[in-house]
Amino acid sequence: MTKLDEIAAALDCSHVYIQTHDFPDPDAIASAFGLQVLLKTRGISSTICYKGLIDRYSTAKMVQLLGIQLNNLERLEEIDVLEESDEVILVDSQKGNANIVDMTGDEVICIDHHPVTTDIFSYRVKDIRPEYGACATIIAEYFFENNIPMTKELATAFTYAIRVDTNGLLRGVCKKDIEILSEIYDLTDYSIIKSLENSVVYREDLKMFAEAMENIAIYDNVSFAHVGGGCPETLIALICDFMLELVEVDFSVVYSVKSGGVKLSIRSTNPKLDAGKIVRKALKGIGNGGGHAEMAGGFMPLPEGRHDEAEISLVIRDRFLGVMHLSGKQTV
């Protein structure tokens, strides 16, 4: 029995919901899209859903160009339609994560490539492979394992997802990611890939890049930067990647005060500094976080009302430096 057969056999409903994390990125969207096609071959229909928004132009453009149907639960209020007995499959995320809403329904299956952060949740079937650079790689494997044809749209979605999540095969990539890219190379529309990779930043985003550069503080090889309030989640991650371009930096923390709390993005190119483990320890008791050794994220809830950004920055800096056993002496 293949993993796809195991998933299909574990479902009791003829229609299921495929849920991505909030603010879905190309990997989450491609994974959900691919799984939807796979389930259809087993006679199971599905609805792809998320809560939040697609906050990057390139991701929205991907959805439009490849004809992917997504349902925003906030906009459609579809969350009120679901029953407790409805079955939900999580892709590119896990129960209990800060970046996914706990919507009505029973999360029975999880397919993800992020490290497991807690064992308190269970699934009928789970396929979690932290060694993979992208969740899309797992879903693409299902196609080959079951000899199911892949369309050009699917191949293009998978290719873009893998390239984005591995930062062009430079971050967290494994051999299987590269093998899948090779297998689907001839099917992929690289003119679409090129158009998507050239549509990353809005002109107004440059202000937040400028603010991050203005606020950056470096301690040994670790940088911290606040990008102002309400920064889109994917832009926080993009700026965090950008900070690693600095010669003096091999561990980057970028954060923004958003509705309800502080969103953090963490990146590491230092093999001695595991981003996922460090953010989990740094936010213990005041928030939560996790992820891969090279790429992670976190969220620190805040009470309603005005917040002292200087105090928030101090808390974040001290907690991260404490976990890494570094002094609070600024070097740059």
Mind listing the pLDDT tens digit of every residue in the chain (332 residues)? 899 999 999 999 999 999 999 989 999 999 999 999 999 999 999 999 998 888 788 999 999 999 999 998 776 555 456 788 999 999 999 998 878 888 888 999 999 999 987 777 899 999 999 999 999 999 999 999 999 999 999 999 999 999 999 999 989 999 999 999 999 999 999 999 999 998 778 888 899 999 999 989 999 999 999 998 889 888 999 999 999 999 999 999 999 998 789 999 999 999 999 999 999 999 999 999 999 999 999 999 988 777 788 899 999 999 999 999 987 677 66
Cβ 136 vs Cβ 38: under 8 Å: no
Q: What is the model's pTM?
A: 0.84
pLDDT the model gives residue 320: 97
Q: Tokens 């859903």, residue?
A: 49
pLDDT the model gives residue 77: 56
pLDDT the model gives residue 76: 55
Three-class SS state of 232: coil
For residues 246 and 18, what is the distance between their CA atoms, to the nearest angstrom? 39
Q: What is the CA radius of gyration of the chain?
A: 20
Nearest to 128 by CA among 160, 89, 102, 178: 89
CA distances from 329 to 266, 320, 325 (A): 20, 13, 12
For residues 41 and 56, what is the distance between their CA atoms, to the nearest angstrom? 31
Which is it for strands 261-268 and 288-291: parallel, antiparallel or unpaired? unpaired
* The CATH fold of domain 3-197: inorganic pyrophosphatase (n-terminal core) (3.90.1640)
pLDDT the model gives residue 26: 96
For residues 286 and 300, what is the distance between their CA atoms, to the nearest angstrom? 6
- Domain definitions of the chain by residue range: 3-197, 203-323
Which CATH architecture fits 203-323?
Roll (3.10)
Q: Is the dihedral of CA 160, 291, 274, 326 positive or negative?
A: positive
Other beta carbons within 10 angstroms of residue 164's beta carbon come to 22
For residues 88 and 65, what is the distance between their CA atoms, to the nearest angstrom? 26
For residues 78 and 248, what is the distance between their CA atoms, to the nearest angstrom? 47
DSSP structure class, residue 221:
T
Cβ 93 vs Cβ 29: under 8 Å: no
Other beta carbons within 10 angstroms of residue 241's beta carbon come to 17
Q: Which two tokens stand for residue 239?
A: 């700026």
Which is it for strands 125-128 and 106-112: parallel, antiparallel or unpaired? parallel
pLDDT the model gives residue 326: 86
For residues 282 and 305, what is the distance between their CA atoms, to the nearest angstrom? 24
pLDDT the model gives residue 260: 84
Q: Which amino acid is at 45?
A: S
Q: Which residues contact 279 (CB under 8 A, 6 or more apart)?
A: 264, 266, 289, 290, 291, 296, 297, 298, 320
Strand partners, 265: 254, 297
